Amino acid sequence: MAELIEKIKKLKNEKNAVILAHCYQNPEIDDVADFVGDSLYLSQMAAKTDADIIVFAGVYFMAQTAKILSPDKKVLLPRREAGCAMADMINVEQLRKFKSLHSGVPVVCYINSTAEVKAECDICCTSSNAVKIVESLKSDKVLFLPDQYLGKWVESKLNGVEVITYDGCCPVHHQILAEDILNARDKYPDAKILSHPECRKEVTELSDYVGSTTGIMKYAKESNAKNFVIATEKGVVDRLRRDCPDKNFILIKENLLCESMKCTTLEDIYKALCEEKYEIKVDAKLSEKAHLCIDRMLGVSE
């Protein structure tokens, strides 16, 4: 593995490439990554570099976002089939039907959506800024897609705002049940339970802290507590165990794996760089509309 890592680093420098790794990736991907974090952060960091090539160790919608924010850079997705089940739960036709049922209501799309969907929405959001984005619309009614749980979690944080959600979800977080939290409370009474807002409402209500992937990791690292139960994808636990060896991290239940995130290997990254294959392209007009959706969010959250 060490030899392959060195080959990737050498090739990365020769081709003036930047490698991005989402937190759900296998931890060994971090060894060649220039940036590790949430999807929007990664795309923003890549856009600020002078790299000619972006290699995105993530999933399709993330690579699309990187291309939208860096239209002049070549964006490569090492595994062509790496997709997002949540993002795939809504297409443009379904979105238009959803909007037609609620005419005149502003539409917020989660960053976990395709460029085609973003182009049809008013403003984008992430799990860390969703409450602020919805609040900024100053509307008593908002459409939110595709994640119903994030949307309803936002609603719980705002008084007098009805968040009408599309019936989508993250299959990984959907597996986590209230009984899992209650069982963890019994088994680890002194542990802090940290969950992602993509979890069911009954899960987030029982948690000590609810936040984005980055938020969960920051909370755990800065907390004085020593024991944590983590209710999100396994990659977060892997990194916390690596970064905080003096603390104890328990994954809420087994098999909380995003298979699409886990399919990318170091070999895939090397081949992508060698052959510059699986390039992600976004139609210019579509990109412009999707970029506007993202820019509106950035204008609020900055």
pLDDT given at position 40: 85
pLDDT given at position 43: 87
Q: Give alpha helix (H) positions in the chain.
A: 2-14, 39-48, 60-69, 92-100, 115-118, 130-136, 148-157, 171-174, 178-187, 201-204, 213-222, 234-243, 259-262, 266-275, 284-301
Q: Are 46 and 22 in contact (CB under 8 A)?
A: no
pLDDT given at position 302: 56
Which of the residues in the chain have pLDDT under 70?
301-302
Domain with CATH 3.40.50.10800 in the chain: 2-84+261-282, 176-255
Whole-angstrom Cα distance, residue 256 to residue 229?
13
pLDDT given at position 180: 98
- What's the CATH number of domain 176-255, 3.40.50.1820, 3.40.50.10800, 3.40.50.920, 3.40.50.1000? 3.40.50.10800
Whole-angstrom Cα distance, residue 55 to residue 278?
10
Whole-angstrom Cα distance, residue 250 to residue 29?
22
pLDDT given at position 286: 96
Tell me the CA distances in angstroms from 118 to 9, 48, 65, 108, 112, one per residue in order: 34, 22, 10, 9, 9
- What's the CATH number of domain 2-84+261-282, 3.30.1280.10, 2.40.160.60, 3.40.50.10800, 1.10.150.120? 3.40.50.10800
pTM reported for the whole predicted model: 0.94
